[in-house]
Structure 1
Amino acid sequence: MAVVRFQVAVLSAAFALCTAMSNPALAQKSYDNGASDTEIRIGNIMPYSGPASAYAVIGKAEEAYFNKVNAEGGVNGRKIKFISYDDAYSPPKTVEHARKLVESDNVLLIFGSLGTSTNGAIRKYMNEKKVPQLFVASGASKWNDPKNFPWTMGWQPSYASEAKIYAKYILKEKPDGKIGVLYQNDDFGKDYLRGLKDGLGDKASMIVMEEPYDTSEPAIDEHVVKLKAAGADVFISITTPKFAAQAIKKAAEINWHPMHIISNVSASVGGVIEPAGFEISQGILSASYTKDGSDPQWNADEGMKRFYNFIAQFDPKANKLDAGVVFGYAAAQTMVKVLQMCGDNLTRDNIMKQAASLKDFAPDTLLPGIKINTAPDNFAPIEQLQMMRFKGKTWELFGEIISSDLGH
């Protein structure tokens, strides 16, 4: 009997070994700093104060989404610890917080930090440390550079791609237009401007004035006045929410009614249009890749039902009209998807590997037909948009979904 028991034990051990070898996920768990059997530590840097504080709702929505995931048991049994700091949209503060998150808080990665200049200030550091700087909340083209910065990846469509779509629309609808551009005097604004000129091609001379502003300015009224005086009948406002609302108000005040296009980052009904005034915002144009939380057409949409339930349960103070809430929810959902794909291999290397292998992933709040795809040589998850016009109290989508690949 003892011999039989010994043989059974040997066979059981051999079977267990074979099973483990055939399924590496069962064989061992792999962790880097910030991950364990019970926890995943995620860092974030957001402008909860300062000139871009309208975006604070993104960080709050992301935190609420992770709270939802934790309440449902976490990711593969692990709870997410979300550590988010306020940089007031100031690059030196971003650097300070990134170092603290990596070196003191021991996060596994930094996710969804907002801003072009702010993320630009920490990109080299993150790549030298080989810590993922994942799903950057900025549409700068430079986040899609896996060859030189393999630890940094964007999330939303690039500003340059969006601007090319506007250029295409202007050339079709107002080929003789005179374009006045108000742009933020940093990488964010310059990226848009470059994309607009690329999209206009040999018609770039349609731009009659390029007017920069700094985020330290309390108001941009005088810039709007100058653009009207330049004879512009197309007004492109490459601005963050506070200044986008100011520009809408000032244009109405001086009785200027050009074709008015605002960048997607300032297309929030609750954060920009409502504060500026519904009446004076009629007909404004933009482009989107997310569903509008204020639009009743989505009330029966399964994805938006889940979003509304999430707000009711986990983020009741959030304004569902605010595009930042929709954005934060979808970005956090993408982050959780990557963590789920990692299984028990929660190394920084595997985080980037899985982030670069997303296939047709559709977060609840993205427009129908828009899906997230990445590859080792493509760090641009979303590359599609649809034009929209403001009417009544909501955005009205029109035309087809347009790919940012406008070469054909």
Structure 2
Amino acid sequence: MSQTEIRLGMSNAMSGPVAAVCLPASEGAKAWLAKVNEEGGVHGRKVTVDVLDDGYEAPRAAANVRDLTHKGIFAMFGGCGTVSAAAIATALKGSDVPYLFPYAALPDLVEPVQPNVFSLLPLYRDQIFTAIDHLVTKAPGTVYTVTSQIPGYESTVSGAEAGVKSAGGTLLSSALLPATNAPAEQEAAKAGQHNVDYLAMTVLAPDAARMLNGMAKSHDLPAKAILSSAPLAAQSFAAALSAEAAQLLKTLSPTVPPSDPAAQECVDALRKHSPDTKPDALALFGCAGAQVLIAALQAAGDEPTRSKLTGALEEMNGAQVSSLLPTVSFNAEDHVGLDSMFLLTLDSAQQYTVEETVPLQTAP
């Protein structure tokens, strides 16, 4: 950091198997920082970010951390994906370099609390527990759960099973999909044999679309609803979904959808500073993370330090720092910023709309 600049580092999958999903997260963040810098920065300093490609590979992510910290960055910020996030957190362990707001819901990031690691995205374990408990309680029935085998998936499976029990539903089966080359069509046929009321999914979006469209084709969709965590809150996923599946979808999301008036400022920033980036879920999450970061930097004062920054975050309590997000709260014992999420449904044009804001529950 200098008298004129606060320099951040980011490692993101700009190439490789998840690049199309993850690249918008960095573009959304950069767009908001560009807007802030146009308006004078933070206490007179421009906030810049060096973005390095990790290809969603742990060794490359760790090497990026070494490169960026050697250059003297103030904090690691943003990025996308559990594999990269795990490597980055490990590389920074024991240092005072903050690691802020990756799009990852990995238990190892926040359990136990690490003093320099802060997450906005609630754990998938708690997301799917909340979705099931909140919705199945209203009309109990049979539930079939499907989880992608990404890092930390074991806790997600446990959360889904606990949610069914808490809601008074009947768990028929829990299935796992490989994180790569998932046999989604085969899983669709398998799930369809159960004639379920609810399908609860924490699944990578392309696999979920193939699975649900396969079930729709064979008329095997669940009778009551498809319940999901944040990975299925992207408009690109909705566009790939059959109309039959779309009308059943209820998914939690950390941000409002791009069509919501509350998203307008970030949509405008993207149109100006990253016009080729669609203002979808990951881009809006990146923008929201930048908004929380700027609020914390402003609170850290004219001469910010890393400890002042993390201290400012821990003092956020029910703060409405981004119109995209529910209120944000951190404290010394809890470094997950959101304790509620938006429940989204799809309208007749298959555009997401906010149905309600749902308090997050912690899975037992």
With normalisation by structure 2, the TM-score equals 0.89
What SS is found at the alignment partner of 1:136?
coil
Q: Is the 8 A contact 2:254 2:285 kept in 1?
A: no
| Counterpart residue number, 2:175 | 211
The answer to whether structure 1 residue 137 and structure 2 residue 91 are counterparts is: no
The alignment yields a C-alpha RMSD, in angstroms, of: 2.5
Work out whether 1:252 is the aligned partner of 2:208.
no
1:276 equivalenced with 2:241 (yes/no): yes
The answer to whether residue 288 in structure 2 is matched with residue 324 in structure 1 is: no
Return the match for 1:59 from 3, 22, 26.
26
Residue aligned with 1:199, SS? helix
1:244/1:56 CA distance change after superposition, 3 Å: farther
Deviates more, 1:216-225 or 1:151-160: 216-225
Aligned residues of 2:319 and 2:328 also touching (Cα < 8 A)? yes
Any stretches of 5+ residues in structure 2 without a counterpart?
none
Three-state SS of the structure 1 residue aligned to 2:240 is helix
Partner of 2:334: 378
Q: Residue 310 of structure 1 is aligned with which of 258, 269, 276?
A: 269
**Change over 3 Å in CA distance of 1:146–1:190 after alignment to 2:** closer
Unaligned runs of 5+ in 1: 1-34
Shift of the alpha carbon at 1:204?
8.7
Q: What count of residue pairs does the alignment treat as equivalent? A: 360
Read off the aligned partner of 2:63 and give its amino acid letter.
E
Partner of 1:223: 187
CA contact (8 A) 1:52 1:242 kept: no
User: Quick one: which amino acid aligns to residue 9 of structure 2?
Assistant: G
- Distance in 2, Cα, partners of 1:251 & 1:294: 28
Q: Secondary structure in 2 aligned to 1:324? A: helix
The aligned residue for residue 119 of structure 2 is 154
Distance 1:37 1:132 in 2: 20
Counterpart of 2:10 in structure 1 is 44
How far apart are 1:224 and its partner, in Å?
A: 2.1
- Among candidates 32, 35, 39, match of residue 68 of structure 1: 35
1:193 aligns with 2:157: yes
1:182–1:212 Cα contact (<8 Å) kept: yes
Alignment check: 8 A CA contact 2:129 2:361 kept? no
Q: C-alpha distance in 2, partners of 1:324/1:182?
A: 22
CA drift of 1:278 comes to 4.8
| Deviations, residues 40-92 of structure 1 (Å, cap 9, x unaligned) | 11111222233322121111111111111122222111112211122222222
- Equivalents in 1 of 2:207, 2:219: separation in Å? 18
The answer (yes or no) to whether the contact 1:145–1:379 under 8 Å persists in 2 is no
Say if 1:219 and 1:67 are closer, same or farther in 2 by CA, change over 3 A. farther
Change in Cα spacing, 1:58 to 1:229, as seen in structure 2 (3 Å) is: same
Amino acid aligned to 2:209: A
SS at match of 1:129: coil
Cα 1:203–1:355, aligned 2, differ >3 Å: closer, same or farther? closer
From the two aligned structures, give the one with the greater helix fraction: 1
Q: Normalized against structure 1, the TM-score is what?
A: 0.80
1:323 to 1:174, Cα distance in 2 relative to 1, 3 A: same
